[in-house]
Amino acid sequence: MIKFLIDNFIIILLLLPLTSLIHELGHAFFGKMFGGKVVEISLGYGPSLFKLGIFNINKFYFFWGYCRVILPDNNRISKFLFHIGGVLFNFLFLFFLYVLRVVFNVHSDYIGNLNIINFVMIMTCLIPINYFDNTPSDGKRLLEIIKKDSA
């Protein structure tokens, strides 16, 4: 029972934010790649707990996240790559975890949990919906960009 509680504590308070951070770093990477200015990378929602440079940790840091970037170009390709950047970084992280497991024979329940969390994040980010605060998902933004391309 104690191991179950500790494992769930680690999953919720460490692995979920790690996956969100990797996702947001993907957006920041592509934003910088196209000459943008990364204003903020925030984990969680609610009141801010602390801020270090561009990183902001909010009260409920284990759930949610966003990356605020000012993109100088209205190019569809740069917007597309920016919005899919988080998902691409989650895929790269899945590949890294695969290499750890298969190539280096590292077996851990936490790696398995990270695989599941990353996969779920990829799938949920690609669903074209508005989130609870009415911000569009990455999938919805991508769909809007594709629709503009075909119009």
- pTM of the predicted model, to two decimals? 0.91
Tell me the average pLDDT of the chain.
Answer: 90
Q: Is 43 contained in some domain? A: no
Domain assignment present for residue 80? The answer is yes
Residue 46 placed within a domain: no
**Structural domains of the chain, count:** 1
Identify whether 60 is part of a domain.
no
More confident residue, 14 or 129: 129
Q: Is residue 51 part of a domain?
A: no
- Domain range for residue 12? 2-34+73-150
Q: Does residue 53 form part of some domain?
A: no
In a domain, 52, yes or no: no
Long-range contacts of 8-14 (CB under 8 A, 24+ apart): 10/110, 11/110, 11/113, 11/117, 12/62, 13/62
Domain assignment of residue 91, yes or no:
yes
- 3-state DSSP helix/strand/coil percent for the chain, to nearest 5? 60, 25, 20
Among 146, 115, 140, smallest CA distance to 125 is for 140
Q: For 120-141, what is the mean pLDDT? A: 93
Rounded to a whole number of angstroms, the distance between the first and last alpha carbons of the chain is 57
For residue 128, the surrounding DSSP H or E stretch is none
Evaluate whether 24 touches 67 at the Cβ level (below 8 Å). yes
The neighbour count for residue 100, using CB atoms within 10 Å, is 15
pLDDT tens-digit map of 28-78 = 999 999 999 999 999 988 899 999 999 999 988 777 899 999 998 778 899
